[in-house]
Chain A
Amino acid sequence: QKEVEQNSGPLSVPEGAIASLNCTYSDRGSQSFFWYRQYSGKSPELIMSIYSNGDKEDGRFTAQLNKASQYVSLLIRDSQPSDSATYLCAVGTHTGRRALTFGSGTRLQVQP
């Protein structure tokens, strides 16, 4: 079992719809959770961070965390073609190696 799991996609949504991206993690000691966006051929860009259970909203993006279920999600409202990218979930533990563990990413396609 991978430490951080994501559906590889592609997830295809029409323009204006809500895109829902999901991520599960295996280490119950994880304390920091991040979503990165990566356009093809570019480096990952941090778009959301969340540290406590519940929802965190930033513009069109909402991150949701449920530590009991070991589940993180990212909602993108009013999806735009420019949101088409691969979204990477990353999880951090504050013990041991103290580095982020990345999922393999979900490719999102927003259809005009």
Chain B
Amino acid sequence: EADIYQTPRYLVIGTGKKITLECSQTMGHDKMYWYQQDPGMELHLIHYSYGVNSTEKGDLSSESTVSRIRTEHFPLTLESARPSHTSQYLCASSEQESSYEQYFGPGTRLTVT
């Protein structure tokens, strides 16, 4: 059972605002991921991290940025939100040397008006 948390769960915000989506896990997992998923559509990897001070861009081009200063924390930031950023954002984590089983947080549903 994974303990991975995301806040806020729901966010409605106006265009141009800066937002940070929080993701924390208590399992000590080295690897963490951010996915974007529109309703009924597939998951798209937007960022991942192998450990502290390690971040990489994923498959889907994203205007967001991430940081990994602590093992347990992997926040995602949008400097200037736009309606095209409206989506569900899912955070996941997995152990570094395991079989790559990923555990997902509950997600943040973002609406930009």
Complex formed: what's the CA distance from A97 to B45 in Å?
11
Q: Which residues of A contact B105 (CB under 8 A)?
A: 43
Q: Which residues of B contact A46 (CB under 8 A)?
A: 101-103
Contact A103 B107 (CB under 8 A): no
Q: Is the CB of B106 closer than 8 A to any CB of chain A?
A: yes
Complex formed: what's the CA distance from A98 to B95 in Å?
11
- Given contacts A43-B106, A44-B90, A99-B33, whether A49 and B43 have CB atoms under 8 Å apart is no
Contact B101 A34 (CB under 8 A): yes
Minimum CB–CB distance for A21 against chain B, Å: 15
The number of residues on chain B lying at the interface, defined by a beta carbon within 8 Å of a beta carbon of chain A, is 21
Complex formed: what's the CA distance from A82 to B39 in Å?
20
Taking residues whose C-beta sits less than 8 angstroms from the other chain, chain A's interface range is 20 to 34
Complex formed: what's the CA distance from A32 to B94 in Å?
13
Contact A44 B104 (CB under 8 A): yes
Contact A99 B100 (CB under 8 A): yes
The 0/1 profile, CB within 8 Å of B marked 1, for residues 20-42 of chain A is: 00000000000110100000011
- Which B residues, 3 to 40, have Cβ-Cβ distances below 8 Å to chain A? 31, 33, 39
Contact of A98 among B41, B100, B104 (CB under 8 A): B100
Give the interface of B toward A (CB within 8 A): 31, 33, 39, 41-43, 45, 48, 50, 56, 58, 90, 99-107
A-B contact pairs, 24 of them (CB 8 A): A31-B99, A32-B99, A32-B100, A32-B101, A41-B39, A42-B107, A43-B90, A43-B104, A43-B105, A43-B106, A43-B107, A44-B43, A44-B90, A45-B104, A46-B101, A46-B102, A49-B101, A51-B99, A92-B99, A98-B31, A99-B33, A99-B58, A100-B100, A100-B102
